[in-house]
Structure 1
């Protein structure tokens, strides 16, 4: 299984630095961990509900039942305050009656408790299960800022006009902003966008702050900076306050686009707190009432891939997609160009799930390959910019194989390489089978901050808060594991957290090494590689796979043929990286990464590496301490 780690391995740095620690400090700073549920399936859920005589209604994403406390033995017909929704893929549940949410195992335990009771008693659901949470609990931080924000109707005409200009919303009316219950904080020149839960409570907010100042040419420059509260797992939907008995909605990337659609067509449009980055399973019950969902995201490749992923998650049978183009730009731009948003919505295309397609099904994607070259190449590295020159970018659906001699720094490089992408919003799942997660996280936060915390403990909490915002998740497997369990966990993470990059370090821990027959070992090795290849393709997720090399003669550089096993890994891989370490050959030798395969466009090359021990990184640059004057801290002061 995998866990999401709250980054409090502060103790680890104190131990390394030799600091004196009392027991109270240890208990306060110990690592906090959050378990996820075991992987389940729809057949198991249906079987259990049937055995317990619980009638259920199968929806698009969830099963709908009555709260077990009510002991109502009939099938729900519509959404009520007594409904309980169970995710068809993971078993995750939300109960409106009890206001609780949790994993399938918690729900099973609760149902069994109530079924063992012979009489109805005044017993609270999940009272004996501590792991469940309140689904409708509102963050006090959100409540404070939301209460401080002004209603738009209270603002003067001059302030209103400045808002539309400063925040690049001049095509929208204030009536539109008011209908979405947008508020404003005058003292901080910040717009506040609310995200509502099913009960209409504001559970998350997005703050967009406008700062003005002179640039290097002494010209006035306007900068917009946004922050989301809470930064970790924000929930809710922008525009939900406008939903009533409608059956069709539009899902957009930004709040600006949602408001543009509502203003131009009077059709309700919704936006998630993190846009196309993640569709939390906790939000899925909100979409059950809709018979048609149009997904209209931005025109970059990541948004397009997210649109297809979200459509599958929401049930492709009711989803339609609009791929922005010159004739059909994103909603707000269409409003600027005075195009008919109604016509664009009518031209939305249904998602095809068939195994066989024709050119017309793929025409828009082929067109994008020619017109949006920079965008279709994938996410660009910021720390390892030379990788962009060779590989062009990081793309979904590919398999990258990395190899290097023992002790050459494979894990260190892959940690840095994946961190670079996570810092740009790539949802990443780590499977570290050789190094435990605490040690891996210690290295990653050091690479992230470019600081040796053993000597700078006073800076740890500031950087840990920033690091915690990254979309990083970690499997809790360690040592040798069975490949089906690993693939099931990866699939679960892709569904729940919309993972787009998985790192497996390393392959040898999934291959049984006890066989006396080398042929059997190679066959098993090939099956594991094929499993990861299928996963990358079918789940549209990039998999980075670390494989140890064969034993080569000392001093000889690695080649593609050095990768352990048969030719299967090199055939299946889209990209191959060899970590060469010439320090073992000459006194003045250096490390470098050699790209020996690049299926995207064939470019090959070498990337020199210079390791900095203090930052545990191959990327050495000045990184400033994060400012305490973040948007939300400013507002509270």
Structure 2
């Protein structure tokens, strides 16, 4: 033993021509550290005595590349290691949950003597060089130590860490891979690949700069996700910054809950989901000064819908006209109320602040110029809308209103020295008040009374004042409102003096920094200069996040001298009272009707039977039950079901009533019980045969009943002159599967055995007709009777657009339903699966999973799809305009207990009769299908399987027909023709 490394004696028989050759089985024992390699070589030279020095060939044989290939060629599969050592290595390296198949994909092997694992690194891909030419460029070896007191592992790197070459798992990278995960540990890479199925690479985890050669390999990847261990997060950030890829993401310790991938995979029951969720939660690595739409979504959403957003924290009550322009009172903004001298700025400012304070907005008055007593007196009058005179001896009214206004969250800060108050003093008051009270509105009675304004020398100093005020509003999350002298811009040459230029500069700075600028403009009513009568108008010069500006005399300000209150009314652009209603109402009606028609119009396919008429009927049906049903689905499936039943049964009853009131009735109807199952019997006046029809209605197992199909069964009995029996089977969810099948079976068996006693019917001439879901029940009952060898048997089974399989939801007819009429009230794949799950008593939350075929594992699906091979369909069914051949199903089947229950139900032949293995000895059958029906193809598959089993099966198809066209045959001639064809087929086969 030399330095902890075992050196085996050499076989002198392998010394030829004075040169030393290592045996292949011994080469892997040499430690690849440079110092140990030289030490081992010196000891071997000493042992040989007869050889000293080294040749060029020996130097070449000791190169890192040669050593890597030699060690790799002598490695063995991991299944040839001793189980105790392999188990110990798995525990120490966090590989307990890694499957052997994952090891095989990453080419993990064992050392020749079986005491360690070898993790290869590559710089080539399999898709470039092929499997045979693929060779590792580096190795990482983990060996078990032989210290029994403190067992552990020794890590060896070939070549050493200073010349780190390649990545572990890089050979699996393909040009089509969208995402690649980079990790700093081989166990983490194996865990991510096994859990998420993504290509995972293990990169160099030692500190130091990354080599340019390795970075060039990473820049070829499309989407890079870096998942460093929590303790090496800075190393991951360094790698992310080193990559020039614009699509690089990083997983933070918070996102992975301070866990490595190997630790996450070890969590029982939720490791895979946790790893997948962590990868999805990765964050894009970008410069801090750059942002994308993804990052700005919440900030943008907050702008519109957050607290105090565009609509503000409150609205104006006294000045409701401002709501149309300013939209609301928002925090973090600066509002300036300006105007000329003696125009009433401060009076309006007082009522403006009072209106906001009455909305429970804490307000702070900063009285820089206005005496506090005068201000409170004005506020009391404006609040009470009453005048208080000195000669008025009754002070009860004043006391009452003063007590009321004192309850408002309004505070006053008085500053004695006018023109010497700094903005800093106001901030100190706000800070002292914030310790006990929250201030959201700060009112400054005169901005020009600030000391900063007095000392301002130019426009730049004025700009700083407004900037400081706006910054104060944003930092303290409050709204600052101030008054100041603002007047119209003077552009005439005669007014081009120093005062005018200074006022224009003030206006410009105010317009630049303020968020909202309201200006009171005065208009004299007479030309006489001595006339003091005038009108005030409020103009809106600026609103940063509001609506339109008002730069003309549009908003009129009416001042009440008694109460000192303003009223804002519409000015010059106002229409005469009541005129706007005559103009707006027709326009609103036209807009509303246009929007409704545009939203409701969903075009039907061009070849749709009676397209114009059905466009109206489908729209009415969609408004009556589809849209309300979708809305009620948000609350409960039970509510949706009740509403849909009510609407459909009511419409069916109305259609039947209209038919009975216009057509002569030559059919007698009564109700009987067939082995405790209710049934309705239709007996025509002219019965000319001893045959009978048993009819099973449709409705998705949950919706319709015998009354809903009264129109069809009544008409069918008249056309065939045969006694027709309609079975009232129990519906779900009140009676779940297989209650409906049991009812139909008991009723049919009872009728077959007692028909001759009841109505002198020949039991060998009974026809079974099933419509839609009733077609499913008819097929299942027919197969049940065949299995039980019940006699007498049914003569003919007639299936009208039946639902017979729940395996493949990507057939051409289903794809056509998705693409051509998915938004209509016609039966769609989602509703078909939903009502079937309700019928089976399963959770409707599985509908999306069933539509994706997640309830069928790929292996079993290959067997089941033999019954629904798309190539068996007629060529016209495979229209490329809507049909695309589905890709092979990946192994992403959910393995939960709930999905196993869904699979066991939906793949049962009593639910999917198309999956019945033995279809022989069934009665003669006819299947009716329609072009615009999701169930079209499975009806054809059922006929194909019957014919393969030797059953006489016929198929009739309507190229312009649609599902449920028989139910509205009074409106659709093709529906009447279909019922006539059904009657003709039945009479022909029973003649």
TM-score scaled to structure 2, two decimals? 0.24
Greater helix fraction, Structure 1 or Structure 2: 2
Greater strand fraction, Structure 1 or Structure 2: 1
Larger radius of gyration: 2
